[in-house]
Structure 1
C-alpha cells in the first residue's frame, strides 16, 4: 500500500507539473521565436535602407564592407541584390558566397522583395539546419532599387529554448524528488498501523497475539480500527482459550460418568431375567458408542483449535508402519492388506495427521469389507494415496454427504459414530491437501487422499519433534 500511495502522489504531482511547465515552455518558445523574428526584421529593414541609399548614389563598392561588419558581429549572412536581382554583395565565406552578378531574381523571397513585398520566414538549408530569413526591399516610396536578404541560423534561438526546457525539467525533477520524500514519509505514517495490523492478524491466525497493533500513530480512522481489532482479538483469544480448556478437560470429565454408567449396567446382568440380557447388551453398546462419539467430538475440537505448520513426513515409512499395525486386526476378519505403487517419498502434513488419516480410512474399509476380500493401498507419484476396499460402496449422493458430521448411510449395519471421515478431511485440509471419495472398479469405495510433496529444502529445515505421538493422543485415530 505504501508503494501505491507513493505512486499516486507522484502521479498527481507529475500531472500538475506537466500542466504548468509544458504550457510555460511552449509560451516561452513561441515568444522567443517571435522576438528573434522581430529583431531580424528590424535589422534587415535598417540595412535595406542604407543599402538603398548606396545603390541610389552609386556607392555599391561600399556595400561589402557595410554588410560584412554587421554579419561578423551578429553571425548572420547578408545578401544585397540590385533591382534586376543581380547579386551586389554576399557575406558568406568562401565558395558558399554568390559571386557578384549572380541572378537571384527567381528566388521567391527576392522576387517578392523586388515587387516591394517583404518576406520573413524560416526555411531549411542544404546541410539540414534551419535558418530565419528576412528579405526586404530597398525602396524609396514605390521605387525599388534593390533587395536585402538577412538570414540567421535558428540554433541561436533553439539553444536558448532548449536551455529553458532543460531548466524546467530540472526544476520538475527537484519538485518530484521533494514530493517523493514527503509522500514516502506520509505514506509510511498512514500505513504503519496497517503494517502492525497485518502482523497482528498473522499472529492471531497462528493462534497467539503476542504484539497487538499500534493504535497510537497514523490517521484517526486507522487508530480506531487498530483499537477495535485489539479488543476483538483479545475477546477471541479468551474464547479460544476457554474452548481449548473445555476440549482438554471435558474428556476426563465425560469419560468418568460414562465408564461408571457402563459398570453399573454390567452389574445389573446377574440380577436381570435372562430375557433382558439382549436389551442390556444393546444398552452397553450404545454407551460405548456414546463414549466414542464424545472422543471424536473432542478430537475435532482439538484439531480446530490447534494451528500447526505442515512438516515433511515420509509417506512410505508411515504407510508401512500403519499397515503392519493393522494386519493382525485385518487377519482376524479374514481381510488382506496390500500396498502397491512406486515409492511416494516425503509429503507435507501436520504432525500425526498422516497416521490418523490412514488409521481412519483403514478402520472404515475394514468395517465394510467382507471376509476373503482385500484392501488395497495404492501409492501414486505426486503425493497421492488411494485406499480401495471391496465392500458395498456408496451411492453418489452418499459420497457427497459422507464428510458431514454424524452422518451414516441409511443401510449401515455397524455402530460407527459418523466422525471418522470428517476428522480425515480436516486433517487433510490442515496439511494443505484434500480427500475425495470415488466408486472403486468392480465395486467398493476408493478414498483418494492428495497431499503436497515436500521439497528437499523443506526436508532439511524439518524441526525435530519428540512429542509427535503426544499430539496424536486423544485425537480419535481409527474412529468409525
Structure 2
C-alpha cells in the first residue's frame, strides 16, 4: 500500500509539474525568440537607414567599414546590396559574394519590393541555425539599398536550454521532496492499516494476540483500530463462551440422557406386553436424541475452534475404515469394496478423514438393501484427489440432493432414525481443509457421495486455518 500511495503522489505531482513547466518553458522560448528577432530587425532597420543616407550623399565608400563595425559589435553577418540586388559588401571574412546579383533570393527580392523579411534558416556554411532580418533602405519612396543581418541563434538556444534545464532541475527537486514527504506520509497512513490486517488475520485464526496500536496514524484509522479492538475482544469473549458451553454441555447432557435410557429400560419387566412397542420407541428416540446432541456438540466444537489442516494418507485411511465397517455391513449382508488408484496424501482436519468416511458409510449402509454393494472409489480429479462413496440404494431426487447438507434435514419418505447432522458435518470438515463435498446420482441407481480434496504436495496452495 505504501508503494501505491507513493506512486499516486508522484503521478499527481508529475502531472502538475508538466502542466506548469512545459507551457512556461514554451512561452519563455517563444518570448526570447520574439525579443531576439525584434532586436535584430530593429538593428537592421537602423543600419539600412544609415546606409541609405550614405548612398544618397554618394559616400558609398563608408558602407563596408560601417557594416564591419556593426557586425563586430553585434556578432552578426551583414550583407548590403544596391537597389538592383548587387552585393556591395559582405562582412564574412571568406566572402566571395561581392558583386554578385542576389535579387533572385526570396528575402532580397521581397526587400527590393519594399517589404521587409525575417525568419530562421539553417546556414549551410556554418551548419548552424541562424536568424536573418532583411530590410529595404528607402527615402521618400525611393529604394537605394537592401540590408541583410544574419545572427547565429547559438546564444539564444543556450539560454533556452539553460532555462529548460533549470525547470527540469526544479521539477526534479520538487519530485525528490515529494518522494521524501510522500514516503513518510504513506508509511504513516499504511502502518496502522498493516497492523489492522495482521490483527484481522490473527482473529481469523482464532486468537488476537497482538491488537493494533490505537495511537498511530490518522485519527480515522486510530478510531477504526479502537473499534476493531473492542469488536475483537467481544468476539473472543463470545467464542470462549460458546466453547465453554459446548464443553460443559457435552458433559452435562450425557449423564441425564444415559439415566433416562436406563430408567426407561427398567420399566420393561413391569409393563404390559402391549406397551413394550411404545417403550422400545421411546428408548429409540432417547438414543437418537443422544446422537443428535453429540452431533451438535461436534459441529459446535468444529465451528468455534481454530483448525489447522494437516497432511493425511487418504489411501491408508480409506483401507482402515473400509475394514472396520465391513463387519457392520456383513450383519446386513452388504459388501464394501475399495477401488481406484492410490491418490496419496491430502489436506484434512486432524481426525477429519475418519469422520468423513464414517458418516458417508453410515448413510450408505442405512439405505443399502441386503445383497447390495457399497463401493469406495479413489480417483484423480481435475482439481485434486477425489473419494466416491457409491451405494445401490434408492438414491435422491435433485431437490433432495441440494438440501441434504442442511442441518436436521431428512427426506420426507425416509424411515431411518438419522439425526440430519451427518452430511452437514461432512461438508464442514471438508470445507475446513479447503475441499468440497457433493452428491450425484450413481450410474444404475443409488447415490454417489463425492469428496474433493486438496493434495498436500501443493504447498503453495496450503489451506488457510479454518474456523
- Do the aligned residues in 2 keep the contact of 1:25 with 1:165 (CA within 8 Å)? yes
1:337 CA drift (Å) = 1.8
Q: Is 1:52 paired with 2:52?
A: yes
Question: What do residues 211-239 of structure 1 show as CA deviations (whole Å, max 9, x unaligned)?
Answer: 11111122222222211111111111111
Q: Is 1:265 paired with 2:267?
A: no
> 1:89 aligns to what?
89
1:138 CA drift (Å) = 2.6
> 1:412 aligns to what?
414
| Alpha-carbon separation, structure 2, partners of 1:286 and 1:372 | 29
| Alpha-carbon separation, structure 2, partners of 1:177 and 1:125 | 42
| Alpha-carbon separation, structure 2, partners of 1:87 and 1:220 | 82
| Alpha-carbon separation, structure 1, partners of 2:139 and 2:290 | 127
TM-aligned CA distance change 1:235 to 1:456, over 3 Å: closer
> 2:102 aligns to what?
104
> 1:245 aligns to what?
244
| Alpha-carbon separation, structure 1, partners of 2:367 and 2:414 | 9
Q: Within 5 Å, give how 1:310-389 maps onto structure 2.
A: 310-381=309-380, 382-389=384-391
| Alpha-carbon separation, structure 1, partners of 2:413 and 2:276 | 26
> 1:476 aligns to what?
none
| Alpha-carbon separation, structure 1, partners of 2:349 and 2:152 | 81
Query: 211-220 or 436-445, which moves further after superposition?
Result: 211-220
| Alpha-carbon separation, structure 2, partners of 1:117 and 1:275 | 136
Q: Is 1:436 paired with 2:438?
A: yes
| Alpha-carbon separation, structure 1, partners of 2:255 and 2:196 | 44
Q: Which runs of 5+ in 1 are unaligned?
A: 463-480
| Alpha-carbon separation, structure 1, partners of 2:93 and 2:451 | 93
> 1:202 aligns to what?
201
1:19 CA drift (Å) = 3.5
> 1:134 aligns to what?
133
Match of 1:138, SS state, is strand
1:294 CA drift (Å) = 0.2
| Alpha-carbon separation, structure 1, partners of 2:4 and 2:277 | 75
Query: 339-348 or 81-90, which moves further after superposition?
Result: 339-348
- Do the aligned residues in 2 keep the contact of 1:87 with 1:98 (CA within 8 Å)? no
Query: 40-49 or 160-169, which moves further after superposition?
Result: 40-49
1:161 CA drift (Å) = 1.1
TM-aligned CA distance change 1:316 to 1:155, over 3 Å: farther
> 1:30 aligns to what?
30
Root-mean-square deviation over aligned CA pairs: 2.4
| Alpha-carbon separation, structure 1, partners of 2:389 and 2:90 | 105
1:179 CA drift (Å) = 1.8
| Alpha-carbon separation, structure 1, partners of 2:333 and 2:74 | 116
1:184 CA drift (Å) = 2.0
TM-score, length-scaled by structure 1? 0.89
TM-aligned CA distance change 1:230 to 1:457, over 3 Å: closer
- Do the aligned residues in 2 keep the contact of 1:312 with 1:458 (CA within 8 Å)? no
Q: Within 5 Å, give how 1:225-240 maps onto structure 2.
A: 225-240=224-239
Q: Which runs of 5+ in 2 are unaligned?
A: none
| Alpha-carbon separation, structure 1, partners of 2:390 and 2:98 | 111
> 1:472 aligns to what?
none
1:341 CA drift (Å) = 2.0
Question: What do residues 53-93 of structure 1 show as CA deviations (whole Å, max 9, x unaligned)?
Answer: 55445565664554345445644322211111012222345
- Do the aligned residues in 2 keep the contact of 1:335 with 1:372 (CA within 8 Å)? yes
1:240 CA drift (Å) = 0.3
| Alpha-carbon separation, structure 2, partners of 1:215 and 1:225 | 8
Aligned residues: 459
1:51 CA drift (Å) = 3.4
- Do the aligned residues in 2 keep the contact of 1:41 with 1:134 (CA within 8 Å)? yes
Question: Which runs of structure 1 show a deviation greater than 6 angstroms over 4 or more consecutive aligned residues?
Answer: none
Question: What do residues 417-469 of structure 1 show as CA deviations (whole Å, max 9, x unaligned)?
Answer: 1100000001111111111111101000011211222236469x99xxxxxxx
| Alpha-carbon separation, structure 2, partners of 1:114 and 1:144 | 7
